[in-house]
Structure 1
Amino acid sequence: MKPIKIALTADIHDSRENQEKAIASLKVFLKKGKEEKIALFSIAGDLFDKAMNNTSNSGFPQLEQVIKQMMDVAPVVVVEGTVTHDIKGCYDIFRDIDAQYNFTILHPGKPYFLKRRYFCVYDTYTEGESDLLILGLPELSKEHFLKDKQMGKAESDEAIKAGMQKLLLGMAATRKQYPDIPCLIVAHGAIAGAKISQHQVLPPGGIQIGRDDLAMIGADYISLGHYHYAQQIGDLPAYYEGSAFPIDRDESDQKAFSIVTFSYPNERRPYDTFLNIDRVNYPHAPKKKIVIEWSGSLPTIKEADVKGFIVWMQIKIDRELRHTIDIFMIERRLNHFGALIGSEVEIVDNPVETIRSAEIQNAVTLREKVIIHAKLSDKKVAESILD
């Protein structure tokens, strides 16, 4: 069997506000896919950032044009993402595009097959012609598992857990029916133990897929969307692709997409699948957040810390000392050491104790409360005010 090469991404978050960055990323994704002569494009949810009208002002025609160009290179498969981003029915219009190859919305519990002989994705298996099994898992809401059910929180949590396990067991059973071809899963949602960001791990609770449940399916590659930080889940062939550009101001990882190749050591069945993953950078600089406690002089800025980043520098200072900061000078130093256009300096006031302070609450008279508040705020109060 000839190697199968696929281009995979997620979390494009296209909108009128994000369009320049989103379309720039999609064009790089398209160009690389064409150069690599890939057999399939995959988007693991959140192509949209919010609802878009099909008008010239919304930018939707530009998105539709890029999707069509992708469909003239290879078939495209997607799963629906978070409902506040990918609203119901948002992908339907792409299925009607007149292009060389088809656009397929993957639904849970249903197998799909890439047939390279026809360069299309079908929902039927043909011996000797189906080259890749594709399973989709969109982000599922509680309503999907609790439809027409009235129950308390504990019962509903158990029902959701049981429903998810049943769905994953079904996917594992489907995988076992087709052991002679590689399997790709495209999914959007939370995987237990994943990193929400570079510094935060997903806490327990909510609708999550366990690593063991994911592993039992036996997929050769699992393409994930939802979290913007690109990462591998444990030692599984499961990868969050990451967002197509930095969404939040402190996303400092280089955004990229994957070119995955399934190859085989021999022509005998069952095939032993060899996986090769190449990461290709999107054309957007990473961002970096730097927090500094003001010490009365210009902060130390090192070239290694800021060069090549869009820097968001927060300077924490007491309100009455704000006037001592020369923002213009700090911005010049950032630029001098290689911080990119779009970098900014923000002044953040240090918090002061409020009227909710325990000492203030225990004070009896208004005079006592004012004196304590002034002391905690490091301020002087005139005797005329106290009188």
Structure 2
Amino acid sequence: MKILHTSDWHLGATFEGIGREEDHKFFLNWLIPFLKEQEIVVLIIAGDLFDQTQPSAEAQRIYYQFLLSVSQKTDVKKVIIVGGNHDSPTRLDAPAELLKLLDVFIVGGISVDGKDFSRYLCSLKNEQNAVELVVAAVPFIHEYRLGVRTSMHNESEIHSLFKEKIQNFYFDLADAAEQIAQDAPIIATGHMACRGSELDDAPQEIHMIGTMGGLPSAIFDSRYSYIALGHIHRAYRVDQSNAYYSGSPIPLSIKESNYPRYVQLISYEKGSKAKTVQKIEVPVLRKILEVKSNLEQIHSILLNISWQTPMPPILAISVQVNSYHSGLDLELKNILKNKFQDASPIIAYIRQIPAKSDNNVLASKEAFSLKELTPEQVFLKMCDTYNEIVDENLLQAFRSLLNEENI
């Protein structure tokens, strides 16, 4: 029995205004035959299916067309989808009853009655009607839903309370899953930041606990033979445990383009809980490349740029200058156009940044786009601009407001 774990598709995402629809279609066109060839029986998408809570019509079209293709062109028995922090729980849940006709099981968000565990449990049965697998489909859970109020505690207390609450949830859910599974393996999902993640492994922090490091693997009951995690955009195993991240299947940032993209393949021997886990590299349509140097070197880099992907890369260009260079954008675009014609790389942005100089105060300050900064980083920069002293109380108040706004 083979299960495929993927997450963080972020359908509808852009990079500096450049749509990524073609990148997503390229991935899904690879995924459909892979599901068929590998005889995958369960596909798990562990949150952040969409990039925004109100996805575009095109993003939704890609999503529904994919689910139809899975039903018509593969032997997948069940597609399990859980909501992430970027998803709208109600929007995901709305067509859930209809999508059951395509063997799609959806849990968009945590229910008001957190103890109604039947909502999260999906079982897979064989031809003899015996249970082969139980999946505890857990979506993103905001600490507020667990009764944790960030404005009432200090960071240490929040960390301890949230860890206790979410651990109890997973342990109680394992009890309910075990009653259905009997001797069959149990898999869980989750959308959170666990240990081993780095600050830029995900677009934003989603819990107050994120300010103190990720959650430990001990929150997951040992009865879960595999935990399919989402939110972190890099594929790795958490603390040598049964919890794994698959990462995002397309590079959504410059850093993500520096590393391969993966899905996780989980295989069980028939009638056994023993498993193997294999990272499968995903082909990408194009990369996002950062080009940063002085103008002369930028010219040389652009004239000699090459790629092995089906499409040319997206370029993020930062030019070090002593003074503002008018007409620079057109100059660099013409270099690429003359060199590559219709197969030219796309330029996401061209930024002029001060060259390093002892006499230049701006030299030590990087040019930032608001899209590159988290809300907290913007807040700190604003405080710095207005000479506002940021102490722990002010920072904690801001984080509380931010978290409660994103419930």
Give yes or no for TM over 0.5.
yes
Tell me what 2:60 maps to. Answer: 60
CA contact (8 A) 2:324 2:352 kept: no
Distance 2:140 2:268 in 1: 26
Tell me what 1:143 maps to. Answer: 144
User: Aligned partner of 2:66: which letter?
Assistant: V
CA contact (8 A) 1:331 1:345 kept: no
| More deviation, 298-307/168-177 | 298-307
| More deviation, 87-96/220-229 | 87-96
User: Aligned partner of 1:114: which letter?
Assistant: S
Structure 1 residues 156-187: Cα deviation after superposition (integer angstroms, max 9, x where no partner): 55432321232233345557665732232221
CA contact (8 A) 2:261 2:282 kept: yes
CA contact (8 A) 2:81 2:104 kept: no
Alignment RMSD, CA only?
4.2
CA contact (8 A) 2:262 2:281 kept: yes
Q: 1:79 aligns with which of 65, 69, 82?
A: 82
CA contact (8 A) 2:77 2:103 kept: yes
Tell me what 1:221 maps to. Answer: 226
Structure 1 residues 83-127: Cα deviation after superposition (integer angstroms, max 9, x where no partner): x43343423304313735343428676363433425xxxxxxxx9
Distance 1:251 1:15 in 2: 17
Distance 2:141 2:189 in 1: 13
Cα 1:312/1:179, change in 2 over 3 Å: farther
Cα 1:207/1:35, change in 2 over 3 Å: same
Structure 1 residues 225-267: Cα deviation after superposition (integer angstroms, max 9, x where no partner): 1122223324234322122322224421333323321226xx6
Distance 1:65 1:298 in 2: 42
Residue identity (%): 16
Q: Which runs of 5+ in 1 are unaligned?
A: 119-126, 355-387
Cα 1:224/1:50, change in 2 over 3 Å: same
Q: 1:248 aligns with which of 248, 253, 256?
A: 253
Higher fraction of helix? 2
Structure 1 residues 359-385: Cα deviation after superposition (integer angstroms, max 9, x where no partner): xxxxxxxxxxxxxxxxxxxxxxxxxxx
Tell me what 2:267 maps to. Answer: 261
Distance 2:252 2:7 in 1: 13
> Offset of 1:209 from its aligned partner?
2.2
CA contact (8 A) 2:42 2:78 kept: yes
Cα 1:169/1:51, change in 2 over 3 Å: closer
Cα 1:299/1:19, change in 2 over 3 Å: closer
Equivalent residues, number: 331
Specify the structure having the higher radius of gyration (Cα). Answer: 1
2:225 matched to 1:191? no
CA contact (8 A) 1:317 1:349 kept: yes
Q: Superposed, which structure 2 residues align to 1:153-168 within 5 Å? A: 153=154, 156-168=158-170
User: Aligned partner of 2:70: which letter?
Assistant: M
Structure 2 length normalisation: TM-score?
0.66
> Offset of 1:208 from its aligned partner?
4.1
Q: Which runs of 5+ in 2 are unaligned?
A: 14-18, 363-407
Tell me what 2:70 maps to. Answer: 70
Distance 1:324 1:148 in 2: 51
What secondary structure sits across from 2:101 in the alignment?
A: coil
Tell me what 1:131 maps to. Answer: 132
Structure 1 length normalisation: TM-score?
0.69
Structure 1 residues 3-54: Cα deviation after superposition (integer angstroms, max 9, x where no partner): x111221112223954443344334323321232221111101112224479
